[in-house]
């Protein structure tokens, strides 16, 4: 193991450990690995790495049991735990024991390297004026895939007839940010951009934007566009194939088109590039890096030193389901930064404004929901068990068992 090691990987699968170390070293980090707790502690004492990537399962050992010892030897070292997919409970326990962050396995090597860069380089790793796909913060597969998709669409937009792009997803998921990131990537080629919020202002906004010389239109809440503006835009796209439209919506435009609420010719033009921006609950491993980024930006805006999240604050962030998605998280962190003191964001600073309302919501009966889903899948497939099982994402044997459990017939 080389001197001045940046990163220690503690992973009992030798091949995986070597792959992670090799990938990190090719990106400029010095790294080494250990395959069990005893050798890991010996290397940690000798090399004093700045970052430890710790697998929760080390053969018969529990990796979390190493956390107190690692923290006791060097409290300044940051520890990231790797846990199985969907094991957020273990990640929360790791936060309570002093871990800085977590990764869900199988974690792409690029995600691991991104986390290493974020945690080791800290503030210098990310300037305030980022553009392009660097606007998209996160190390999850969802964030990596989104950045890759935006790059491909930006490349396609460099032609004479750029494909229309529709970004769909729940409110607050970051669709407008993704739209701006996409435009940034092709700005030099495509030219002037106008952003239009179709949910305010009524008809006439498209004509105004085009009169201003826009070559790119970012249309927020395109589902709210009035009939006249839909017609104007459809005509503009027909007359000028070089006009690039990037639209966002949280509604199903296909369903609106079938009801006559959205023009089919316009839908087919703007839904060539189709990007689904997932809810935050689907990429929970991005909660902490997003929170860190929001804290950094908020502190900069208010000329304050960047506060750090305590372990208890991190746990509280991970335990919330974030129905308001990234927008809700950003609001929460902005409030926490303003209320924080001593350079730390404590759990008490994390105030979820809609918690009380949500606690009063009636929770649906999961058993009834399961039964309803089974009946619907069988009805749609005409009683075909194989197709119904595929639709539900379960095996045929599981479906048959549940049919017997609820007394459901094929017909």
Average pLDDT over residues 256-274: 95
pLDDT at 207: 93
pLDDT at 121: 65
Residues pairing with 8 in the sheet: 32, 52
Residues 6+ apart with CB under 8 A from 5: 30, 31, 32, 43, 47, 48, 49
Give CA separation, 329 vs 56, 96, 357, in Å. 27, 20, 17
Q: What six digits make up the tokens of 244?
A: 């690039």
pLDDT at 256: 95
Cis peptide before 189, with omega less than 30 degrees from 0? Answer: no
Residues 6+ apart with CB under 8 A from 355: none
Average pLDDT over residues 71-91: 82
Rounded (5°) CA angle 318-319-322: 80
Ranking 43-57, 61-75, 396-410 by mean pLDDT, the lowest is 396-410
Q: Which of 335, 320, 276, 38 is CA-nearest to residue 145?
A: 276
- pLDDT tens per residue, range 144-202: 899 999 999 999 998 889 999 999 999 999 999 999 999 999 877 788 999 999 998 78
- Residue 122 banded pLDDT, cuts 50, 70, 90: low
Residue 339 has pLDDT above 60, yes or no: yes
CB 210 within 8 A of CB 236: yes
Residue 332 has pLDDT above 90, yes or no: yes
Give CA separation, 330 vs 26, 301, 349, in Å. 34, 14, 13
Domains, the chain, in order of start with CATH, read 7-124 (3.40.50.2300), 132-276 (3.40.50.300), 281-359 (1.10.8.60), 366-406 (1.10.10.60)
pLDDT at 364: 59
Average pLDDT over residues 27-40: 90
Q: pTM, whole model, 2 decimals?
A: 0.71
Q: Which of 81, 83, 60 is CA-nearest to residue 70?
A: 81
Q: Which of 174, 196, 184, 187 is CA-nearest to residue 247?
A: 196
């Amino acid at each position: 193991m080389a001197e001045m090691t940046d990163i220690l990987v503690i992973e009992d699968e030798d091949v995986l450990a070597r792959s992670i170390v090799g990938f990190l070293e090719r990106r400029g980090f010095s790294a080494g690995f250990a395959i069990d707790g005893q050798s890991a502690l010996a290397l940690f004492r000798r090399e004093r790495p700045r970052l430890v990537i710790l697998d929760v399962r080390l053969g018969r050992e529990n990796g979390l049991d190493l956390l107190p010892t690692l923290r006791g030897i060097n409290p300044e070292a940051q520890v990231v735990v790797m846990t199985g997919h969907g094991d957020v409970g273990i990640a929360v326990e790791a936060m309570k024991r002093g871990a800085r962050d977590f990764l869900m396995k199988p974690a792409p090597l690029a995600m691991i390297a991104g986390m290493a860069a974020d945690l080791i380089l800290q503030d210098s790793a990310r300037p305030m004026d980022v553009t392009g796909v660097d606007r998209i913060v996160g190390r999850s597969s969802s964030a990596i895939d989104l950045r890759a998709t935006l790059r491909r669409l930006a490349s396609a937009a460099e032609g004479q007839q750029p494909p229309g792009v529709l970004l769909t997803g729940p409110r607050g998921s970051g669709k407008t940010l993704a739209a701006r990131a996409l435009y940034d990537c092709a700005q030099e080629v495509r030219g002037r951009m106008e952003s239009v919020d179709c949910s305010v202002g009524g008809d006439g906004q498209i004509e105004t934007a085009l009169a201003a010389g826009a070559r790119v239109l970012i249309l927020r809440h395109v589902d709210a566009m009035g009939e006249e503006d839909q017609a104007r835009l459809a005509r503009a796209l027909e007359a000028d194939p070089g006009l690039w439209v990037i639209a966002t919506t949280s509604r199903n435009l296909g369903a609106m088109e079938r009801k006559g609420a959205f023009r089919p010719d316009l839908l087919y033009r703007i839904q060539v590039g189709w990007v689904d921006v997932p809810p935050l609950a689907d990429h929970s491993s991005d909660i902490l890096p997003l929170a860190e980024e929001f804290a950094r930006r908020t502190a900069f805006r208010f000329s304050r030193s960047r506060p750090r999240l305590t372990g208890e604050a991190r746990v509280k962030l991970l335990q919330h389901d974030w129905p308001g998605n990234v927008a809700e998280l950003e609001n929460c962190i902005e409030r926490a930064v303003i209320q924080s003191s001593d350079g730390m964001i404590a759990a008490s600073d994390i105030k979820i404004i809609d918690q009380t309302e949500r606690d009063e919501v009636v929770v649906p009966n999961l058993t009834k929901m399961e039964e309803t889903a089974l009946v619907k899948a069988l009805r749609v497939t005409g009683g075909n068990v194989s197709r119904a099982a595929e639709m539900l994402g379960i095996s045929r044997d599981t479906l048959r068992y549940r049919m017997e459990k609820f007394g459901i017939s094929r017909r």
